[in-house]
Amino acid sequence: MIEASPLFGKILIANRGEIALRVLRACKELGIATVAIHSTADEDAMHVRLADESVCVGPPQARDSYLNIPQILAACEITGADAVHPGYGFLSENARFAEILEAHNVAFIGPSAEHIRIMGDKIEAKRTAEKLGIPVVPGSDGGVSNEITARKVAAEIGYPVLIKAAAGGGGRGMKVARTPDEMPEALATARAEARSSFGDDAVYIEKYLGNPRHIEVQVMGDGQGGSVHLGERDCSLQRRHQKVWEEAPSPIIDGEARARIGGIVADAIATLGYSGAGTVEFLYENGEFYFIEMNTRLQVEHPVTEAITGIDLVIEQIRVAAGHKLSITQQDVAFDGHAIECRINAEDPRTFAASPGRISNYHPPGGLGVRVDSAVYQGYRIPPYYDSLIGKLIVHGRSRQECMMRLRRALDEFVIDGIKTTIPLFRDLVIDEDIAAGQYDIHWLEKRLSADAASDDRTG
C-alpha cells in the first residue's frame, strides 16, 4: 500500500482537450505543478498553454502520441513528474500502463491495475458484481463461443437477447438477436466487430431490455475500507449507445431507491478494496436495477455529480492516489438541486458528420449555476484527429424546472461560429415535452432523430 504523503510534487496529465484542463485546474488549486503532454497537432492547445511545463510526445495520431507509453514515461522522467492523471479515454483504463508507471515509481491516479483488469473484461466484471451482491442482467454464465450454446442460453433467458463483446466499449461489438433465426448472423457480426475493434472476439449474451433507462452510480473508494456513493446520473439520452445529455439526480429515482442501490455499490467497492473514482452502470426497468459494467476512471459526465454534491472528484482522486483516506463519509454527502450536462460536439446537429476547423467567434454562456468545461477559444483550430467533443455545458438549479429554464437561457447565449456544433440539437431537446416531463428511455433520442430525418426528407 502507498504511504500517505503530502500530495504529489508534480502531476503529468496524459490527456488533451477539456479533461486535461479539468485536471489542471484541480492541480492548481492543490498547489501541485503540472506537465502537459501533446501531439504535434496540439501545439496551440489550451492545456499546453496553461500547464507549467509541456512535452511533445509524438505525431498527431493518438496511437503515436497520447497512447504512446514509452514516450509518456520518458516525459515523466524528463520532467520529474511523480504521478500521472490519465483523464478518460486514451490510457485511463489500461492496466498495463498503470503497472508500468508503478514499476517506475510514478503513481497512477486511478485504481489498481488488478481492478482495472477485472472491470475491463465485462464477463469477469459481471461475475465479480454478482459475487458482491450487485443485481445483474440475466444472461450467459461467462463467454459464449458457438451457436449451439448461444441458442441454448437465449432459449433459457428468452428472446430478444443482446450479444456483447467482453472487451467492449463505446457501444461497439453489440448485436441484438430477436429470434433464434437471427442468432447465427448476430453472433458472427458481434464477434467480427469485437475482433476488429478490440482484437478479442470473446462475446457473452444478455437479456435485451426493451425500454430501460441508463442509470449509473458514482462511487469513490480509498482502498483502506472507506467508500461513498455520490448518487446517480441518468444518461438515458443516447445516440448510438453514446451519451448525449446527462442529469443528476435521475427524474425517476427516489431517495429510497438511491439509498438502496448506492448502499449496495458503496459496500461492494469497500469489499473489493477499490481505490479511486468509479462508475457502476445499470439499466433500470420496472423498478429494478441491472448492472451492465463498471468504468474504473473519471467519466465525461462527472460534473453533474460535482454540481449537486459540491465535491471535487478530481481532488478526491488525487488525494486517495497519494495514500490518503477519503475526506468524506457517506453522512457528509448531501444532494442539492438538479444538474444537466450537454455534450457539445463539433458535428453537424442533423447528420452528426464531424466538423473540424477554425472557431471564428466564441462566446460561452455564464451566470449563476452555469459551468462550461471546454478547451477551445476564439481562433482555435479543431484538429481532425481526435474525439469530436469540444465542450460540456453544465447547468445547476435548485429544482429540475429551474435547471431546465437556466439551460435554455445558457444555450441561447452560447456562440460558437466557424464550425458546426450540436448546440442546436440541445436547443430542441430543452423545450421538448417528453424531456420536460422526464419521460424518456435509452431509445427515445434515436427515435426522435429518425423522425426528424424523415421529416427533413419530406420537406427538403
Query: Three-state DSSP class for 389?
Result: strand
How many residues form the binding site for ligand ADP (CB under 6 A)? 19
Q: Binding ligand ADP by CB under 6 A: which of 309, 442, 444, 445?
A: 442
Pairing outcome for strands 107-108 and 83-85? parallel
Residue pair 426/374 in contact (Cβ under 8 Å)? The answer is no
By CB under 6 A, is residue 387 in contact with ligand ADP?
no
Query: Three-state DSSP class for 37?
Result: strand
In order of 228, 268, 354, 402, 420, the CA distances from 334 in angstroms are: 12, 21, 39, 19, 39
Q: How far is the CB of 90 from ligand ADP (least distance, A)?
A: 16
Reported as type and span, the H/E element at residue 115 is helix 113-120
By CB under 6 A, is residue 170 in contact with ligand ADP?
yes
* DSSP class per residue in 156-218: HH-SSEEEEETT--TTTTEEEE-SGGGHHHHHHHHHHHHHHHHS---EEEEEPPSS-EEEEEE
By CB under 6 A, is residue 110 in contact with ligand ADP?
no
Nearer to ligand ADP, 171 or 356 (CB): 171
Residue pair 84/75 in contact (Cβ under 8 Å)? The answer is no
By CB under 6 A, is residue 238 in contact with ligand ADP?
yes
By CB under 6 A, is residue 241 in contact with ligand ADP?
yes
By CB under 6 A, is residue 281 in contact with ligand ADP?
yes
Nearer to ligand ADP, 84 or 123 (CB): 123
Kindly indicate which of the ranges 89-97, 147-155, 161-169, 317-325 contains the residues binding ligand ADP, using the contact rule CB under 6 A: 161-169
By CB under 6 A, is residue 127 in contact with ligand ADP?
no
Kindly indicate which of the ranges 10-18, 166-174, 256-264, 387-395 contains the residues binding ligand ADP, using the contact rule CB under 6 A: 166-174
By CB under 6 A, is residue 135 in contact with ligand ADP?
no
Q: How far is the CB of 376 from ligand ADP (least distance, A)?
A: 26
Question: Residue 221 contacts by C-beta under 8 Å, 6 or more apart in sequence?
Answer: 111, 227, 269, 270, 272, 273, 274, 275, 276, 278, 320, 326
Q: Binding ligand ADP by CB under 6 A: which of 150, 162, 166, 407?
A: 162
Q: How far is the CB of 264 from ligand ADP (least distance, A)?
A: 18
Q: How far is the CB of 60 from ligand ADP (least distance, A)?
A: 26
What's the grid cell of residue 120?
475491463
By CB under 6 A, is residue 89 in contact with ligand ADP?
no
Site for ligand ADP in 209-228 (CB under 6 A): 209, 212, 214
Q: Binding ligand ADP by CB under 6 A: which of 283, 294, 304, 423?
A: 283
By CB under 6 A, is residue 113 in contact with ligand ADP?
no
Q: Binding ligand ADP by CB under 6 A: which of 169, 251, 356, 438?
A: 169
Residue pair 394/304 in contact (Cβ under 8 Å)? The answer is yes
Q: How far is the CB of 98 from ligand ADP (least distance, A)?
A: 19
Q: How far is the CB of 290 from ligand ADP (least distance, A)?
A: 7
Give the single-character DSSP code of 275.
E
From the list 343, 397, 354, 348, the residue with the least C-alpha distance to 235 is 343
Give the single-character DSSP code of 133.
T
From the list 339, 357, 340, the residue with the least C-alpha distance to 348 is 357
By CB under 6 A, is residue 280 in contact with ligand ADP?
no
Q: Binding ligand ADP by CB under 6 A: which of 206, 232, 301, 312?
A: 206
Q: How far is the CB of 237 from ligand ADP (least distance, A)?
A: 10
Q: How far is the CB of 45 from ligand ADP (least distance, A)?
A: 27
What's the grid cell of residue 170?
463505446
Q: How many CB atoms lie within 10 A of CB 159?
A: 15
**Residue 425, phi-psi category: left (phi > 0), alpha (psi -120 to 50), beta (remainder):** alpha
Reported as type and span, the H/E element at residue 318 is helix 313-321
Q: Binding ligand ADP by CB under 6 A: which of 166, 228, 292, 403?
A: 292
Cite the active site residues. Answer: 297
Which residues here bind ligand ADP, judged by CB under 6 A? 137, 162, 168-171, 206-209, 212, 214, 238, 241, 281, 283, 292-293, 442
